[in-house]
Every structure is written in structure tokens, then in C-alpha cells.
A and B are shown apart, each in its own frame.
Chain A
């Protein structure tokens, strides 16, 4: 399949706020269930092992007019919860059998309680993760939380979710992680062959289709993109940081690229590469998942950084690995984690002589000209002075 066809399919999925792909998957078997989850990370392997499809929900984007959702939130709250409420109130998420709200910020945390009140008939779970990364403390707590989750899913599925099943799911998700890493590496090596607008759509598709299909889709994309001949442009190389929860509109990503930036790393939809390495498939799977979370997971503002000297290390490493020339801090308006962390990251970049700029967006931002000017000026500066 050609890149164009794959991206067309991804675009369809991106635009489909009825989640028809997931509905079709569910309709294909009487015992199939779909478990929604919000950003950033949930252990999808356990959901999958319970015979359920994990469905990533990242709000309504720029295609949805929020009418009801605004009645639930003050003007100073970010947009993703209000468009997610809109999805809920308009019945678009009625087909879900449950929904997880991971620990990321106070807004998503409180949304879990709102959902409990809105949908008392639905399985709604706040999913806490450890901010203490010692095996015997945070690890022990997390393993028990995962056991609780597994037991809840067993009850929902009507059958026990055993270690073997979780290990098989881990193997499958290892494959997905490998492919995601490969695509990110490929883009970093040849960004003209894998524009970020495409990579974004490809990763976003993975939120709403079964993992098996996503693996095939990524394999197809990689093969096709490697073959495709695309012109090399005179762009600078940048890393995007701060967009791990509410996603920017696709136009914003295209605008950054059109302004002369090759995005060589980003934190869009970080959940699919939250765990950085392959996981063992022959151990106690919950302990394996916990170990990966504690010691081999991505860094983001939603996590506590125990040591001052480690703040920004992950981002610095990304800049180094991808040979980026600058960083664009691009965070959603009113995003507490990203905006609180930004000054520390900015200082760390400055200490290392890495140029950076910052701006804010909302998932429905429409005015791209200021972004284009800012990103364009940044790109010109990097090209001239870097």
C-alpha cells in the first residue's frame, strides 16, 4: 500500500469522532469489550489480555463544536476535558464498557469523578501511578494497583486474566513499541521522508484501532515511506515538547513544518512509547510492567523528577540523539504540568546552549499565522546562527 493510501486511512480514523472502527471491532464478537483511556499512559497489555480493546481518547480535536462541554468548565480549564465531556454527553462514548483516567493532572483526575457521576452505570476508574520510583516502595504499590486493575478487568470480562495471557499481550505490544521506535528513528534520520503530520496521524490511528491492525499499518507505512522519493528541504531540526496530553490540531503541526522545521522528536501521544524498551515475556507480567514503568519509561511533566540534576535530562538526550538544533515548547493553554515544568526545562536547554521558543495552543486553535511567524523566525535563526 502506498503512503498516500495509508495516510488517507489514518485521516479517516482521525476524523471519525463516532469511533466506528472500534464499534465494528466490538460488534464482531458478542464477548468483546472496549475500554477507553485518557492520556498519557495506561498498561494496555492488561486490557488487551482481558480480551478488550484499549481505545485512546484525546478529546474532540478541532472538528467538534463544544456546546455542552463548556457548561461543565470554567474558561481557565484546558480544552481536552470539555471536548471529552462533549463526546460523552452526545453519546459518542456510549459504546464503551469502561474508561480509565490516568494520573496526569488535577483536571483529568477530577474528570474521573465527573464521569462517575455522569455515568454511574459505566466502569470508571482513576488509575494512579507511583511517583516514588523505588522498587520496594513505589514498585510494590504499583504492582498491587495493577493486580487490582487485572482483577477488575477479569470481572468485567467474565473470565480470569492470567499471567500467560498478559505475557502474550506484552509480546504483541513489544512489537508495537519496536515499530513505533523504528518509525521515530526513521523520521529522525530522514525527516523529509516521514513528515510529522503523517507520523502524527499514524500514531493517532493506533489509539482507535486494534493493536494488531496498527502493527500492520505501521509496517506498511515504513515499507512504503522508505521507498517513496521525496525532496529534501532546507529545514532545521527541532524537538517538540509539552504536547503529551491535549493534542494540537493537525494544522499546527503542518504549520511548524511549513515554517521550515523538521520535527525530529516529539511527545505527541506519548503512551505508545511510554515504556522505552522491550519487556520480558516470561516473568511475572505485572512485576515486569512495574519495573518498566519505574526504570525504563519516558519522562514527562506528569512525572516527579526525584533529582534536580535529572530535570530535562530526557529532553537533552532526545536533542542529542536526534541531532536537533532547537526545542519548541508547545503546550496546551492551561496545561499545569507542561507549563509549570517549562521554565525548568527552558533553563536546562539554555545551560546547554540549545535554542528554544515556546507557545501555547488548544486542540481547536484556528489561527496559525502567529505560529508560522514564530516557528519561521526560529527556523531562520537556527539556520543562520546555529
Chain B
């Protein structure tokens, strides 16, 4: 029996797998269907708007993740580096460019179509801007840019909001109309946003369920699956509503049965450590990485990576009554578009609200948007929460930067540190 077939899968997982497969099928069948494709990014993803024009949403980061998990990204990155891309820059970019040089094959084995529109939502990550310039350099298709100002003072100002809305009205929507041949219908957008909000309610409920001591979920390794539909091509769809309803039902059941999180091997037995994690996961050794946690009884009760495509647990919901304003607020509020003091506040609140034992930072070599400043953030969280923090380094999709032995050593030391801290508290 292969290892893959031993993996435990719940209904929601199978549902999501089917949704993703259908989406890749739709993407790779545009020659027959005639549908247009918009490539865009997860943070600041305007899926509800894209759907108004009957377009399909293709996310290069997700393709890179898929390639990472399938162990294909390493060769793609090296291809890109051989073609002049620096070893210093984001490996998502190089995996994407490398994928093109290898025939641009989608995970379903069929060729991915060239995008009809590059929708550059420049939200919280400078690299996005140059990434799409590089894709335009390759594809030569129409590109439209939505600049989302960084909330440097930790607040969304009227000027920022107006700027985003104006770009949507005067540049993004006209470009989509032009490419798709479909006229913009704001009522269709409202309908999509209404569906988004419904799904978002259930996602937040799922994430908050980790406040239970004996958490029914892992909010990082499991969390990346939970955010899948809402961060990608399904926000605003009926399928996303159904998915989150089913997922919530499963979690409710787990709470009732006092079960811990589901892992690739089985339900997690004992919950020994409750952690908050800052930073994206490593994708090339995702299962091995996760195993290092659940083998030790460590469950992640809150993570910031699951807020990179929308910070719904802080109260934001897409609002059908204020459609464009709501899209602007969504983009402006994404996690990496928030200033560092704001990010520290979130982490401290997570540690306290989720009764965590501490903070773990997974620092990603590729991602300066996340990583620059994390050491200081870690110190601040330790100081304010009184809980120990630890730091590991990996990469997104470059297998050369995942050193299993180093990561495991550091994690084991961290768990010992938590134990010592507990002993001291008990002794006091």
C-alpha cells in the first residue's frame, strides 16, 4: 500500500480536492470553453470581481505550492536560476518561471493556458510587482495593476481607501471588461460578496474552535487546507459555502467527541503543546515538517499565514452593501499589508486568547515581506506575553533550504524550553 493511500481524509478534504481538480480542469480547457483567464495573487485576491466577468482565476503562488508539494519545484527553480534569475530572490517566482520553461504543465498534467489578463494586486508584497512584470515579459498579455498602499501607521486612511476604489473603477474593471467582453454588473458582485461573507463566518468559527483546550484543529498545517477555498478561486462561490458548512460540521463533531486535530496519519492523541506560528510553512517537506509537530503532541492553535489572504478573524467581512469599498478594505487589511506593531499585537492576542504555550517563527528565506523584522517581533511577543518563542528557518518551495535535522533539533529544544517554563511556574 502506498504512503499516499494511508493518509486519513475527511469529507471536507475530499470535497476540496475535487474543487481544486475541477478548477484546474476548467483552467486547462479554456481552448474549448473560450473562457478567459486572469492570473492574480492570493493576498488581495479579487475573486468575486473576477467571477463577475466569467473569468477563471489562476494563482501562480498556488501553482508553485502544488509543484512544491509534488517535489517538482526544485528543478524548476534551478532552471530559472540557470536562465539568469538570482539565487537571492523569491522561489515562488522562480518556480513559476521554471514551470513555464518546462511547458507550463498544470498539476492535472495538461498545459496551462497563457493568461489573458495579469491582474497585479500589489498587496503587502513588493515582489508581486516585479513578478508580474516578469510574467508580462514572458507572456506579453494585458496587465493591470492595483496598488494597495501599505498601512504603515497601522490604520486604513480615507486616502488609501479612495485610491484603491478609484483604481478598481477606472482601471481594473475596464480592463476586465475589455478582456472578457462582459459588462460589469455591480449586482452580480454584490451577490458574490454575500456568498463570501457567509463562507467567511464559518471559516472564522473553524479557526476560533482552536480556543478549545484540546483543540479540534491544527490552525497551521490543517489551517492551510481550511483556508484553501477562501484564499483561492472559490471565494464568493456556492461551493465555498458548502465546503465551509461541511468543514464546520466535522469540527463540531470533533469537539463533541473530544478529538484532537486530524493529521495525515490519524487523529492526534495527546495535546502537549499549544503553539502560535508566524510565517508560511515549507511546502517541499510539508508532511515531514508537520510530523515533527504531531509526533511531539504539538498543535498549532493560531497562525498568521492563514491570514495572508484575508484577516476575517479580526472582524472583516465582505460587504455586499458596499461592494467596492469592501474589496478595498479587504486588500488593505491583509496580514502582510499591516505594519509590524499591528502584527505583533495580533500575535500577542493569539498567544493570550488561544492559551498558547508560546510563539514559533518559521522564517522563510524567500519572503522578505513576512520575514524582515521577525526577530524583533519575536522579542516583542516574548516580552509582552511572557511566553517563550523560538525561531526556525526554511523556505517555501526550494528544497535546498529545508534541513530536517536542524528544524527538528530546534523544535525539540523549544519543546524542552516550554517544559522548563512550565516546571518553573508549577514550582513557584
- List residues 303-351 of chain B with CB under 8 A from any CB of chain A: 339-344
Cross-chain contact A76 with B365 (CB below 8 angstroms):
yes
Chain B residue nearest to A130 (CB atoms) is B147
| A72 within 8 A of partner (CB) | yes
With a cutoff of 8 Å between Cβ atoms, the chain B residues found around residue A103 in the complex are 150
Given contacts A74-B363, A340-B134, A342-B84, contact A111 B373 (CB under 8 A): yes
Given contacts A125-B152, A137-B171, contact A340 B339 (CB under 8 A): no
Which residue in B90, B137, B372, B393 is a CB contact (below 8 Å) of A107? B372
With a cutoff of 8 Å between Cβ atoms, the chain A residues found around residue B85 in the complex are 343
| A114 within 8 A of partner (CB) | yes
> Within the assembled complex, what's the spacing in Å between the Cα atoms of A355 and B171?
38
Cross-chain contact B167 with A137 (CB below 8 angstroms):
yes
Which residue in A114, A308, A340 is a CB contact (below 8 Å) of B127? A340
Cross-chain contact B166 with A347 (CB below 8 angstroms):
no
> Within the assembled complex, what's the spacing in Å between the Cα atoms of A333 and B90?
13
- List residues 355-404 of chain B with CB under 8 A from any CB of chain A: 363, 365, 368-369, 371-376, 380, 393
With a cutoff of 8 Å between Cβ atoms, the chain B residues found around residue A122 in the complex are none
Per DSSP, chain A at the interface is helix
| B149 within 8 A of partner (CB) | yes
Cross-chain contact A137 with B152 (CB below 8 angstroms):
no
Cross-chain contact B127 with A106 (CB below 8 angstroms):
yes
Given contacts A74-B393, A336-B89, A336-B127, contact A106 B372 (CB under 8 A): yes
> Within the assembled complex, what's the spacing in Å between the Cα atoms of A301 and B126?
11
Cross-chain contact A343 with B134 (CB below 8 angstroms):
yes
With a cutoff of 8 Å between Cβ atoms, the chain A residues found around residue B145 in the complex are 131-132, 304, 306
Q: Which of A106, A107, A304 has the most CB of B within 10 A?
A: A106
With a cutoff of 8 Å between Cβ atoms, the chain A residues found around residue B111 in the complex are none
Given contacts A103-B150, A347-B137, contact A132 B371 (CB under 8 A): no
| A382 within 8 A of partner (CB) | no
Given contacts A141-B163, A339-B89, contact A308 B137 (CB under 8 A): yes
- List residues 120-137 of chain A with CB under 8 A from any CB of chain B: 125-128, 130-132, 134, 136-137
With a cutoff of 8 Å between Cβ atoms, the chain B residues found around residue A306 in the complex are 143, 145
With a cutoff of 8 Å between Cβ atoms, the chain B residues found around residue A73 in the complex are 372, 375
- Chain B contact residue count (CB 8 A cutoff): 53
| B211 within 8 A of partner (CB) | no
| A276 within 8 A of partner (CB) | no
| A311 within 8 A of partner (CB) | yes
Cross-chain contact A132 with B376 (CB below 8 angstroms):
no
With a cutoff of 8 Å between Cβ atoms, the chain B residues found around residue A116 in the complex are 339-341
B177-206, CB under 8 A of A: which get 1 and which 0? 000000000000000000000000000000
Which residue in A110, A136, A343, A360 is a CB contact (below 8 Å) of B83? A343
Given contacts A137-B163, A311-B133, contact A132 B372 (CB under 8 A): no
| B420 within 8 A of partner (CB) | no
| A287 within 8 A of partner (CB) | no
Cross-chain contact B371 with A77 (CB below 8 angstroms):
yes
A78-107, CB under 8 A of B: which get 1 and which 0? 000100000000000000000001011111
Cross-chain contact A340 with B341 (CB below 8 angstroms):
no
B119-149, CB under 8 A of A: which get 1 and which 0? 0001001110111011011001001010101
> Within the assembled complex, what's the spacing in Å between the Cα atoms of A81 and B130?
21
With a cutoff of 8 Å between Cβ atoms, the chain A residues found around residue B365 in the complex are 74, 76
Q: Which 3 A-B pairs have the closest CB atoms?
A: A126-B152, A113-B340, A340-B130
Contact surface of B with A, Cβ cutoff 8 Å: 83-86, 88-90, 93, 122, 125-127, 129-131, 133-134, 136-137, 140, 143, 145, 147, 149-150, 152-153, 157, 159, 162-163, 166-167, 170-171, 339-344, 363, 365, 368-369, 371-376, 380, 393
